[in-house]
Amino acid sequence: MLRAVDRPDARAIFGARAWLLLIAAIACAAGLFVLVFGTIRPAPPNRVTMLTGADGGAYRHFAERYRSALQAQGIELVLIPSSGSIENLRRIKTDDDIDLALIQGGIANEPDSNDLVQLGSMFPEPLWIFHRGSDASGRLDALAERRIAIGPPGSGTQLMALQILGASGIPIDSGRLMAVGGNEAAQMLRDEDVDVALFVSAIQGPTVKALLAERSLRLFDLALVEAYKARFHHLDVLEMPAGTLDLVDLRPAHRIHLLGTSAVLVARRELHPAVVSLLMQIGRDIHGDEDLFQARGEYPSVRDSGLPLSAQARRFYDSGPPFLQRYLPFWLAVMVDRLLVALLPTLALLIPLLRIAPPIYAWRMRARIYRWYGELKFLEAQIRSRPATEHQALLERLNEIEEAANRAKVPLAYANELYTLREHVALVRREAHPAP
């Protein structure tokens, strides 16, 4: 008897070929998901490198804080010492293994760079001029006969020192200008091996902090600061009020006028966007507090135009951290973001597949029945064209078709197709045994 499956199992519903079709569709979707998950939005690196400047400098000081903050998020920050800003800019531009560097504002001049981007100015960097003796005039040309430490080669301090001293009429090829900086210059100043030492550093830099505590040293009160600013547009005018260092002994004894710039965090353009967003949040936490030379929330900010601003940094300045990173741990936010990005094209593939699956399924179910119609049509033609003595073999084959149809398993919705086939088999059989 013709059988339809009342409660079909998986094989009855789909059959081997239908299952293969389903598996192939799932495999395609899974393959696309893996491809997108690993290429379009790869995981952020677990190791980043950063040029820091010399020991004792502010760059090193802040880089250590970045390293601790990144380590808490599962990213290792490798710190690489250097002589300063000039070397940092050169190395990050030529060495693909360097990801980050701090440089002095005003040094870079490539606003259309295609390999480097800036994340913004992170903190102010005054030009500190420590000296011994009187500075009654406040003019730098009064230091022409003194031994001056101007910073090591490759440092931003040396570049700014040469610019400022040269503009003040001091020959930059003078034998009194000594290319030393950092802790070495500080010690030479203490030992009276130099009379003046210049440093471009945040006030938090260990070397500068130590020199500010030295009562035998004085800060040079620079005159004509507005004129220097007008000539060097990347410089700012800064002031240190009287008594800032010591209210009891009144250090400094009067307001000190300084020039300064700001430190710019530079990254390679291909640095992972999630790492850039994380660095911006860390930078805000580290540099956003109020200080002697900045108001709360003033840094990080965009102050330098020497390099293009990172797209992720621009979004941070416009609207804050990415939505997921505001509420989730960094690793989880990155994972969810990657999953969402990978799911979109996968769904774009699955939706058409799901739409064509029902027609394909219906075609497969009917194909199990309709495949007998070709032979049934052939047998009908043979019965009509051959004599009755040859019909027995044709009827045996007709019986085989009917038995095969009876054994076929299809869902109940397609049982009518089987009944129709059985009727057609009976119709062909009547052709072989016409009614008397």
Residues 222 and 276 in one domain: yes
Rounded to two decimals, the pTM is 0.72
Within-domain flag for 354: yes
Q: Are residues 157 and 245 in the same domain?
A: yes
In a domain, 304, yes or no: yes
**pLDDT at site 397:** 79
Over residues 336-370, the pLDDT tens digits come to 776 666 666 667 666 776 677 677 777 777 777 77
Q: Which residues contact 237 (CB under 8 A, 6 or more apart)?
A: 225, 226, 229, 257, 258, 259, 260
Tokens 């000039």: give the residue. 86
Q: Which domain holds residue 378?
A: 10-35+340-432
DSSP 8-state class, residue 38: I
Which residue in the block uniquely carries the two structure tokens 């240190």?
A: 240
**Could you tell me if 29 and 88 lie in one domain?**
no
In this structure, are 30 and 72 located in the same domain?
Answer: no
Closest-CA residue to 151 (of 129, 132, 122)? 129
Structure tokens at 372: 């007998």
Q: What CATH code is carried by the domain that includes residue 149?
A: 3.40.190.10
Residue type for position 182: G
What's the pLDDT score for residue 84? 94
Is residue 189 within 8 A of residue 216, CB to CB? The reply is: no
pLDDT at 136: 55
Do 299 and 357 lie in a common domain? no
pLDDT for the residue 15: 52
**Domain boundary, last residue among 321, 354, 379:** 321
pLDDT, one tens digit for every residue, the chain (436 residues)? 334 333 344 344 445 555 566 676 677 667 766 666 556 567 788 999 999 998 889 999 999 999 999 999 999 999 999 999 999 999 999 999 999 999 999 999 999 999 999 999 999 999 999 998 765 568 999 888 999 999 999 999 999 999 999 999 999 988 899 999 999 999 999 999 999 999 999 999 999 999 999 998 999 999 999 999 999 999 999 999 999 999 998 999 999 999 999 999 999 999 998 899 999 999 999 999 999 999 999 999 999 999 999 999 999 999 888 877 877 787 777 767 766 666 666 676 667 766 776 777 777 777 777 777 777 788 878 877 877 777 777 778 778 877 777 777 777 777 777 778 778 878 877 776 654 5
161: Cα separation from own chain's centroid: 36
Give the pairing type, strands 148-149 and 177-178. parallel
Query: Helix, strand, coil: what percent of the chain each, to 5?
Result: 50, 15, 35
Residue 358's CB is within 10 A of a number of other CB atoms, namely 9
Indicate if 28 and 105 belong to the same structural domain. no
Burial 290-309 (b: 16+ CB within 10 A, else e): ebebbeeebbbeebbebbbb
What are the DSSP E strand ranges found in 225-296? 236-240, 256-268
Question: CA end-to-end span of the chain, whole Å?
Answer: 28
- Domain membership of residue 293 (yes or no) is yes
CA distance 188 to 377: 109
- Whether 315 maps to a domain, the answer reads yes
331 found inside a domain = no
Amino acid at the residue 337: D
Does 394 share its domain with 290? no
CB count within 10 Å of CB 286 equals 18
CB 189 within 8 A of CB 129: no
Query: Distance between CA 353 and CA 356 in Å, rounded?
Result: 5
410 and 316 co-located in one domain: no
User: What is the number of other CB atoms lying within 10 angstroms of the CB of residue 367?
Assistant: 11
Cα distance between residue 197 and residue 185, in whole Å: 6
Residues 257, 395 within the same domain: no
Query: What is the tally of structural domains in the chain?
Result: 2
Selection from 253, 172, 185 nearest residue 215 by Cα: 253
Beta strands 196-200; 148-149: pairing state: parallel
70 falls within a domain: yes
Same domain (yes/no): 52, 113: yes
The neighbouring-strand residues paired with 200 are: 127
Q: Which two tokens stand for residue 63?
A: 């880089």
Domain shared by 21 and 65, yes or no: no
Residue 61 and residue 77: Cα distance in Å, rounded? 14
**Whether the Cβ atoms of residue 181 and residue 149 lie closer than 8 Å to each other:** yes
Helix (H, G, I), strand (E, B) or coil at 287: helix
Same-domain pairing of 290 and 352: no
In a domain, 40, yes or no: no
CA–CA separation, 53 and 65 (whole Å): 14
Residue 265 lies in a domain: yes
Q: How do strand 196-200 and strand 116-131 relate by DSSP bridges?
A: antiparallel
Q: Please tell me the predicted confidence (pLDDT) of residue 122.
A: 97
